[in-house]
Structure 1
Amino acid sequence: MLINGHPKKSVCGFERLSNFWKSRHTMCFQGHGEGRVEKCYEMMGLIFEKLRICSMPQFVRFVHDLLPLKKHPDVVVKDLRFGTIPVKLYQPKAPASGLRPGIVFYHGGGGILGSLKTYHGICCNLCKKSDAVVLAVGYRMLPKHRFPVILTDCMVGTMHFLKSLDTYGVDPARVIVCGDSVGGSVATVLCQKFVDRSDLPKIRAQILIYSALQGLNFQSPSHQQNKNIPLLNHNLAFYCWCGYLDISPSWISTVLKGAHLPAEVWEKYRKWLSAENIPDKFKKRGYLPMSREPLNEAAYLETKITLDVVNSPLIADDEVVSRLPEACIVSCEYDILRDDSLLYKKRLEDLGVRVTWHHMEDGFHGVLTTADMSFFYFPCSSRILDAVAHFIKGL
């Protein structure tokens, strides 16, 4: 019998590690920075992947899920299923004077990390701080499930929620989609797809936290400046990108040189992707414009899936973007994806969409996940939650 392409006896070896990691997990974090520990987990996961014990994503998710869930006395939590889609519903325990805002939350992790469990504390805090009903949508992940599974799972869960708002005491005029990293990409894409859906309540706002919004240009200032910054470094970013889109990692050097897309494509999207659209203050830590090499036709044939707006919502048509609801965008200075947020902010504002922007000068990709972790808590995570809650209360 094969499990994920490997013999069942190999998976059993992975399962026997459970007691060891449960006993060592807390100790591992003491005295270390979060980025160092995450890198350790990734490296061990890659070793297990090479040994055909389990995939790196499976191992890291396994370790993350050893974290105990904290109870929040002011929040009622329910585990539900919308068809086959697992979801967690968070409702304030205090009685409501009327209908509450509803937040549909999509967790980050690049399709390989994160889960409803690891984002439990974030959703509890978001529910409490904003006095809103929060629905966290689970989705199937790598390595077994690739594009477009994340998007379709989140769409199914969201549509079910939108069609049953009265069941959860949610105001249909105040439904917000929210996500971080790849979850922010999902929120962006669904917002764009729901623009013309007259059979569903209109999305009131979109909250995008250090979101992945394009998969074309990897030569931006933030990619150059932050390629070795945890929690999302250059190697992990490409691991997620290749894995989700089922693109061979052998094309990475070609992609970095910009040779995976024709000159006419670069010219078409230059007005939206160019570093010229990024304020100079974000280039002070170093930025060297790079000339693109001639097209590699084979690479283009395999990577052109990135031109689909569901993979690069930053390049959606003006006609769609101009009709989107107002946005709250959070960017972090030490984030390889920082410039995606800056470019999308400019697109929205240029097309008349209202944007509330928060830039975390001390922030890094994934910092939100430390909000409920006492052993390596970063104050920036609380500032993000406070900013998001303030935005929601003002709708």
Structure 2
Amino acid sequence: MMMAVLLALLGAPCLLFLGVGLWVTCRTFFTVDIPVGISHPKKLWLLNFLFQLMVALGMILEKLRICSMPQFVHFMHDLPPYSKDPDVVVTDLRYGSVPVKLYQPRRAASSLRPGIVLIHGGGVILGSFKMYHKICCRLSKESDSVVLMIGYRLAPKHRFPSAMNDCFVATTHFLKSLDMYGVDPARVVVCGDSGGGGAAVTICQKFMARPDLPKIRAQILVYATLQIVDYQLPSFQQNKNVPMLSLDFAIHCIHYYLDISLQWKSAILKGAHMPAQVWEKYGKWLSLENIPERFKQRSYPPVTRAPLNEDAYMETDILLDFLNSPLLAEDQVVSQLPEACIVSCEYDLLRDNSLLYKKRLEDLGVPVTWHHMEDGFHGALNTLGMGFFQFPCATRILGVMVQFVKGL
């Protein structure tokens, strides 16, 4: 009898895992779009399957009130141990209540080094020191820079604006401590990918009026989240089912971070969550005319904005906050921003955010270095150092970042 009970207890989780795996497999086959321009499509399909499996299991645990989906995915991502790089010294610090990691090349410096404040991506619900450890090690070593990675608080446990507050605190402390780390105050760069890229722009906007701190020299933005208001841009239509960031998952990130109910998803996607005056005010910066024609050649369904849903607007106007959509800041702010290095990926939901931001900066006279990965997808940089799952564009993106820093 006891043996039967034990087998049942052991068998139930296995059956659940197999069932969820089968469901994710079917869902991936029928809904995920692997573009023909992606290198190693089977590898990307498998990588996305594993990620979707973690998300699905996390959703089940969330329904059972065991933990949130992001917490489970975060836990799974952090299972592999750290890999040490003998050429880099890594130091764990705390700036007040904010944990940070400092990466410094082990070899002696003949002069002051560039400083890089790195803000990780993950939609403000994922991302960790472990996930970005190899990226930071290589970035520090290859660009001969001091890299500071910020371990900001994540949603849903900590919602808006906790993450940005942590980034402001940590950046302020770092800028005040440059002498201690041997950093050249004239070569401090703020860098971020995905949601971290949007945070990097926000930091540049926030700190440009701080005469008491060293001036930020440049911004490096890798497939950055620069606005979360308009979801009808071509890339949002063309790449809505492309790994590793689907349109559905992006909406879930907003739900967790900004506490916006998923019941407004349809209104947001149809553009019914903002009144006409909002679209008119920001239309000059979100216009399709600002996106080069070659990015509109891949077919996408024409979308007409639905009439205003006033209830949705009342619940979602936080999307307009410049902390969430720095692309929409006024010209007098954007025109004073530092030089930018922008990396966009063809098969990325957020591709057009980068293109629109590039156009705004150029129109306002801000120098821009732009690199477009024709075979790139959202999250490609995170495959760096993942062995079998590493993609060629990950190495190229890191190379772009390194060369830009070296050229400052």
User: What is the TM-score when the length of structure 1 is the normalising length?
Assistant: 0.91
Deviation >4 Å, runs of 4+: 29-32
| 1:316 matched to 2:333 | no
Counterpart residue number, 1:138: 151
Match of 2:182 among 169, 172, 190: 169
Provide closer, same or farther for how the CA distance between residues 293 and 31 of structure 1 changes in structure 2, counting only shifts above 3 A: closer
Q: Which residue of 2 aligns with 1:298?
A: 311
Match of 1:178 in 2: 191
Equivalent residue of 2:129, what SS?
A: coil
SS at structure 1 position matched to 2:208 = helix
Q: How does 1:114-129 map to 2 (within 5 A)?
A: 114-129=127-142
- Check whether the contact 1:67–1:118 (CA below 8 A) recurs between aligned residues: no
1:220 partner letter = L
What SS does structure 1 have at the residue aligned with 2:403?
helix
The answer to whether 1:39 aligns with 2:41 is no
Q: Aligned residue for 1:73? A: 86
Ranges in structure 1 where 5+ consecutive residues have no aligned partner:
1-16, 22-28
Instruction: Indicate conservation of the 8 Å contact 1:103/1:132, yes or no.
Output: yes
Equivalent residues in 2 for 1:319-358, closer than 5 Å: 319-358=332-371
**Is 1:254 matched up with 2:267?**
yes
Question: Aligned AA for 1:177?
Answer: V
Q: CA deviation at 1:373?
A: 0.6
How far apart are the structure 2 equivalents of 1:304 and 1:269? Answer: 14
Q: How does 1:31-110 map to 2 (within 5 A)?
A: 33-110=46-123
Residues in 1 aligned to 2:300 and 2:210: alpha-carbon distance in whole angstroms: 42
Whole-angstrom CA distance in 1 between matches of 2:125 and 2:47? 18
What CA RMSD, in Å, does the superposition of the two structures yield over aligned residues?
Answer: 1.6
Amino acid at match of 2:214: P
- 1:325/1:353 contact within 8 Å kept: yes
Per the TM alignment, residue 32 of structure 1 is displaced from its structure 2 partner at its CA by 6.7
**Match in the other structure for 2:238:** 225
SS at match of 1:33: helix
SS, match of residue 130 in structure 2: coil
8 Å contact kept, 2:44–2:243:
no
Instruction: String of CA shifts for 1:80-124, please: whole Å, max 9, x gaps.
Output: 111111000000011101100000000000111110111000000
Q: Do 1:371 and 1:382's aligned partners in 2 also have CA atoms closer than 8 Å? A: yes
- How many pairs are equivalent? 370
Structure 2 match to 1:205: 218
Query: Any idea what the Cα deviations from partners look like across 1:122-149, whole Å, max 9, x if unmatched?
Result: 0001001110000001111111101001
Structure 2 residue corresponding to 1:381, chosen from 391, 394, 404:
394
1:178-199: CA deviation from partner (whole Å, max 9, x where unpaired): 0000100110001011111101
The amino acid across from 1:288 in the alignment is P
For 2:406, the equivalent position in structure 1 comes to 393
Tell me how far apart the structure 2 counterparts of residues 30 and 277 of structure 1 sit (CA, whole Å).
Answer: 34
SS where residue 113 of structure 1 aligns?
coil
Note the alpha carbon deviations across 1:317-365, whole angstroms, 9 max, x for none: 1001001100000001111011000000000000000000010011110
The residue type equivalent to 2:257 in the other structure is Y
Whether 2:306 is the aligned partner of 1:267: answer no
For the 8 Å contact 1:258–1:293, the answer to whether it is kept is: yes
Higher mean alpha-carbon deviation, 64-73 vs 158-167, is at 64-73
Whichever residue aligns with residue 86 of structure 1, its letter is P
Aligned match of 2:32: none
Match of 2:27 in 1: none
- The residue type paired with residue 339 of structure 1 is D
Matching residue of 1:152: 165
* Corresponding residue of 1:7: none
SS at 2:49's partner residue? helix
- Unaligned 5+ segments in structure 2 are 1-12, 18-41
1:110–1:240 contact (8 Å) kept in structure 2: yes
Local SS of the residue matching 1:166: helix
State the one-letter code of the partner of 1:201: P
Residues 32 and 274 from structure 1, CA distance in 2 versus in 1: closer, same or farther, beyond 3 angstroms?
A: closer
| Separation (CA, whole Å) in 2 of partners of 1:49 and 1:30 | 29
What is the one-letter code of the residue matched to 2:135? Answer: I
Match in the other structure for 1:5 = none
CA distance in 2, matches of 1:288, 1:352: 34
* Amino acid in the other structure paired with 1:268: K
1:242: which partner in 2? 255
SS in 2 for 1:291: coil
**1:112 aligned to 91, 109, 125, which one?**
125
The whole-number CA distance in structure 1 between the counterparts of 2:250 and 2:45 is 23
- Once residues 50 and 234 of structure 1 are traced to their aligned partners in structure 2, the CA distance between those partners, rounded to angstroms, is 22
In the alignment, is the contact (CA less than 8 A) between 2:219 and 2:339 conserved in 1? Answer: yes
Partner of 1:26: none
Max Rg structure: 2
